[in-house]
Structure formats: structure tokens, C-alpha cells
């Protein structure tokens, strides 16, 4: 990176349904992060939020609705539609431009107000081909899972282990939506959805309001003694039609490469201490760990078998419970970043991993079978 940008504070809200209304929740999460940092709304340089018009309670132009609730009254602010890590990236850009010392980055999604996620993801399709065949995110993920198992001999048990691990990790996370001790058998015996995908292997629909306060290197010194630095980030888009894509060698490695290059990481397995990734479908955690370079191609199953990705393992993956536990569709990527920030600062409470976390990776993905990936590397 050219110069340094820090995350100086992070705040998040719990994933279960909330009886509070959207705007009040947006206001509260902003207040929480600003109060923690000890600054007022007026001292914030710029605000970049992430939201989506279709995951937004039936109100278009989402940013219009929450502009003032999101601490942006009369500010030069902006908004990203979709992947919330993009709001983080844009916030970083605004600070690096030298025009702002601080940026408030928000990820906003109230799942309670929306229909099933897949009703909405169906509208990612083009109106002429994939829509006529009923494609949605789960449909695409099922096709990807079958290929993954076929190609590399990944087993359903290995995929189910991701659920066992992540929902188990969620028991330590007060913000998690679904948390329980489950067995591989229970996962395998859960209702088939789009086979090979089973109900427990698919993420729920959650609430998610998350806020990060970013600051320039100089400003961060005044705001915190525990800055978490943005070491690198990257993102990459794949081609649109599902049938044109290599679903087992997508664009996550390209996104990761940009991030690693910027962060100077050459051996991710050794240099990264903790991973929070977006796995709306259990098997994707295994596939993504391969694409991120934590193991060789086709070795994602062995990686979970080895126990290394467990909460207490050498490379904890989703110690928060991940997206399988909490899936605020739009803001799930930024939740990953917030979790990494808390782990690096040693502020993750009961879910704090039992090892020193110097460098962590946050990952977000949107689109069918990972059409788009975003990766951020954060470090102490």
C-alpha cells in the first residue's frame, strides 16, 4: 500500500430478527462506533455504506432512506450496491486520496424485512436464459458442489464438517444468528434442498448492521492505541453465464493475489493467522480455502479433516461461525472484516482464538457460485 489506513473501531449488531426498525438500527450502529472512538458525527470525514436496493425491505435507492441515519447528513458520502467489502475498499481510497482523515464504513441489511434470499438472487439472472430455467444462488451452488465432489473426491461428510465447526464456533459468538452443537449425521440427514445441498449446509437469512471507522495513519494515532492496518485488498469479477465459467477455478485466486501482492504475502498458509470467509454454502469454505492458497487444489477436504481450521487449530477459519451461522446478505463481507479486526485487537470475547493473531484475512463473495470475490488483509 502507498500509505497506511487503519481500522480504528468496529461495531456490529446481532444476527437474529430484531423488533427495532431499520433506521434506528442504522443510527445505533453508527453511534456505537463513533462513541467507541470518541468522536462526533460532525468530525467524520466521509461515509461509505454498502446496501442493496433489492435486499432492502422494498425501498429502492436504499441510500436515500438511511442517509441521515447513517451519519451522512450534508457529508460528501457514497454507497456501494452489493458486496459490503467494496464499501471498505472505497473508504480506503477516499482516505488515501488525502482528502479525508476518517471514513465511516457501513454494511447494512435487515434480513427480517426481505423475502427469502433466493427469491432475490433469482433476479441476478438475465431475463432471457437463466431466468427461464429458474437459476438462483442455491441452484448454482448445488451445481458447483457436485462438480467439486466429482472432480476431487470431496465427500459429503467433509462438507458437513464445515457446518459442525461453524455452528459450533457460533456458540461462542453473541452476535451469531444460528448457533448449535450439531453432528455430521444431523447435517447429512437434514432436508434436501437442491441436492447435493442439504438444508443445514445453506446459510440462513439474518440481520446485519456493521460499522468500521477508518482513519489515516496520522489520525489513527489520536483515535486508538490499537490500530488494525489495512495491509492489502483485491477483488475480481468472473464472466456472467454460469455455463461459461470454470466453477472450480474462479476468480478468488485473482482477488487474493492482488491482496497478497499489496500486503507482501508470499506464503499465505504461514503468514496469515486467521481467516473469516464468506461461505453461504458449507462446501464453499473448502473450495475457497484452496483458492486462497491455504492448501493445494482438491485438498480442501483434507484441510478440514486435519483440524487445522478449527477454532483451536493453527489456521482458524470462521471462528465467528461464519456466514453459515449469520448471513446478513449484503453486509456479510464487512462482518468478516469486523471479526478479523476484533481478533487482531484481542477483543473478540469468548470467541477470541487461543493464539496470537497478527494478520487476518476477510473475504466476501456475491453472485452465483462466486462470480465476484473480494479479499482484505488486515494486520496489527
Partner 1 sequence: MGRAVAVIGTGQTRHGMRSEVTYPDLIREAVLAAFQDAGITPDDIDGVVSGTMPSMMEGVALTHFYFADALRSVGKPILKTETCGSTGVSLAITGYYWVASGLADVVLVVGSEKMHEGDSQATMTTVAEPLYQRFFISGAPGAFGMQSKLWLQRYNVPEDKARDAAAKVSVDHHKSGLLNPYAHIRKEYSMEDVKNAPVIVYPVRLLDVCPNSDGACAVIMACEEKAKKICSKPAWIKGVGYAGEEYWIGDSDKVVWESAVKSASEAYKMAGISNPRQELDVAEIYNPFTFQELLYYECFGFCDFGTACDYTLKGTFARGGELPCDPSGGVLCTNPIGATGLIRCAEAALQVSGKAGERQIEGAELALAHAMGGIIQFNGVMILGSKL
Partner 2 sequence: MEKHFHVREHEVWLPYRFSVGPVFHRFYQGLKEGKILGNRCPKCGKVLVPPRSFCPDCYVDMTDWVETAQEGELVSWVLGRKEFFGMPMDPPFIGALIRLDRTDCNFLHLVGGFDLDQKENLKKLRTGIRVKAVWRDDKKGHFLDIQYFQPI
Partner 3 sequence: MVTFDKKGNPIIETEAIIPYQSVLGPTWFRFFEGLKEEKIYGTKCQKCRRVLVPARAFCPRCFLDMEEWVKVPSEGEILAWVYTNYEYFGMPTKPPFITAIIRLDGTDTGFLHLIGGFDLSDVEKVRTRVKDGARVQAVWRKEKQGHVMDIEYFRPL
Contact 232, 272 (CB under 8 A): no
Among 17, 35, 43, 126, binds partner 1 (CB under 8 A): 126
CA-to-CA distance for 380 and 298, rounded, in angstroms?
32
76 binds partner 3, rule: CB under 8 A: no
**Region binding partner 2 by CB under 8 A among candidate stretches 38-46, 242-250, 262-270, 313-321:** 242-250
> What is the footprint of partner 3 within residues 236-265 (CB under 8 A)?
none
Residue window 210-249: x/- pattern of binding to partner 1, with contact defined by CB under 8 A: ------------------------xxxxxxx---------
> What is the footprint of partner 3 within residues 203-232 (CB under 8 A)?
none
Identify what 320 binds: partner 2, partner 3, partner 1, none; CB under 5 to 8 Å per kind. Answer: none
Using the 8-state DSSP alphabet, how is residue 373 labeled? E
371 binds partner 2, rule: CB under 8 A: no
Q: Which residues contact 339 (CB under 8 A, 6 or more apart)?
A: 276, 319, 320, 348, 362
CB of 57 to partner 3, least distance (A): 5
**Region binding partner 3 by CB under 8 A among candidate stretches 5-13, 113-121, 289-297, 355-363:** 113-121
**Region binding partner 2 by CB under 8 A among candidate stretches 62-70, 129-137, 270-278, 315-323:** 129-137
Tell how strand 359-366 and strand 274-276 pair up: parallel
Take residue 265 and report the three cell numbers written for it.
Answer: 504475502
Residue with cell 479525508: 100
CA-to-CA distance for 289 and 277, rounded, in angstroms?
9
CA-to-CA distance for 298 and 361, rounded, in angstroms?
21
123 binds partner 3, rule: CB under 8 A: yes
Q: Which residues contact 289 (CB under 8 A, 6 or more apart)?
A: 275, 277, 295, 300, 303, 309, 317
Using the 8-state DSSP alphabet, how is residue 1 labeled? -
Q: What's the Cα-to-Cα distance from 18 to each of 29, 170, 177, rounded to whole Å?
A: 14, 18, 11
Residue window 92-111: x/- pattern of binding to partner 3, with contact defined by CB under 8 A: ------------------x-
SS3 category, 333? helix
CA-to-CA distance for 276 and 286, rounded, in angstroms?
13
Identify what 114 binds: partner 3, partner 2, partner 1, none; CB under 5 to 8 Å per kind. Answer: partner 3
CB of 28 to partner 1, least distance (A): 17
Count of C-beta atoms within a 10 Å radius of residue 31: 14
- Contact residues toward partner 3 (CB under 8 A) are 18-24, 27, 30-31, 34, 40-41, 54, 57-58, 68-69, 71, 73, 110, 112-115, 119-120, 123, 127-128
- Contact residues toward partner 2 (CB under 8 A) are 17, 19, 58, 60, 112-113, 115-116, 118-119, 122, 127-136, 138-139, 142-144, 146-147, 150, 191-197, 239-244, 247
Amino acid at each position: 500500500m502507498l500509505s497506511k489506513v487503519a481500522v480504528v473501531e468496529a461495531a456490529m449488531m446481532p444476527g437474529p430478527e430484531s423488533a427495532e426498525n431499520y433506521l434506528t438500527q442504522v443510527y445505533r450502529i453508527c453511534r456505537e462506533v463513533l462513541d467507541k472512538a470518541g468522536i462526533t458525527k460532525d468530525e467524520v470525514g466521509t461515509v461509505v455504506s454498502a446496501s442493496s436496493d433489492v435486499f432492502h425491505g422494498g425501498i429502492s435507492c436504499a441510500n436515500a432512506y438511511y442517509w441521515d441515519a447513517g451519519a451522512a447528513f450534508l457529508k460528501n458520502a457514497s454507497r456501494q450496491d452489493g458486496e459490503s467489502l467494496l464499501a471498505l475498499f472505497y473508504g480506503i481510497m477516499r482516505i488515501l486520496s488525502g482528502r479525508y482523515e476518517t471514513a465511516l464504513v457501513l454494511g447494512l441489511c435487515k434480513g427480517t424485512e426481505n423475502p427469502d434470499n433466493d427469491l432475490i438472487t433469482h433476479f441476478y439472472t438475465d431475463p432471457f436464459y437463466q431466468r427461464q430455467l429458474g437459476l438462483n444462488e442455491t441452484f448454482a451452488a448445488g451445481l458447483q458442489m457436485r462438480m467439486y465432489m466429482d472432480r476431487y473426491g470431496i465427500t459429503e461428510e467433509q462438507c458437513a464438517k464445515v457446518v459442525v465447526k461453524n455452528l459450533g464456533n457460533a456458540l461462542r459468538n453473541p452476535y451469531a444468528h444460528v448457533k448449535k452443537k450439531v453432528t455430521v449425521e444431523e447435517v447429512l440427514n437434514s432436508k434436501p434442498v437442491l441436492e447435493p445441498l442439504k438444508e443445514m449446509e445453506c446459510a440462513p437469512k439474518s440481520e446485519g448492521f456493521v460499522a468500521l471507522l477508518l482513519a489515516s495513519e496520522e489520525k489513527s494515532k489520536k483515535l486508538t492505541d490499537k490500530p488494525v492496518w489495512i495491509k492489502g485488498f483485491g477483488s475480481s469479477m468472473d464472466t456472467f453465464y454460469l455455463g461459461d465459467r470454470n466453477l472450480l477455478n474462479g476468480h478468488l485466486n485473482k482477488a487474493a493475489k492482488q491482496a497478497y501482492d499489496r500486503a507482501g504475502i508470499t506464503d499465505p498458509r504461514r503468514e496469515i493467522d486467521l481467516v473469516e470467509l464468506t461461505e453461504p454454502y458449507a462446501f464453499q469454505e473448502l473450495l475457497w480455502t484452496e483458492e486462497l492458497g491455504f492448501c493445494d487444489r482438491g485438498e480442501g477436504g483434507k484441510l478440514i479433516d486435519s483440524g487445522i481450521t478449527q477454532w483451536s487449530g493453527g489456521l482458524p477459519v470462521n471462528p465467528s461461525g461464519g456466514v453459515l451461522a449469520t448471513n446478513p446478505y449484503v453486509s456479510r463481507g464487512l462482518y468478516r472484516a469486523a471479526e478479523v479486526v476484533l481478533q487482531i485487537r484481542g477483543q473478540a470475547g469468548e470467541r477470541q482464538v487461543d493464539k496470537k493473531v497478527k494478520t487476518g484475512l476477510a473475504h466476501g463473495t456475491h453472485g452465483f457460485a462466486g462470480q465476484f470475490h473480494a479479499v482484505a488483509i488486515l494486520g496489527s
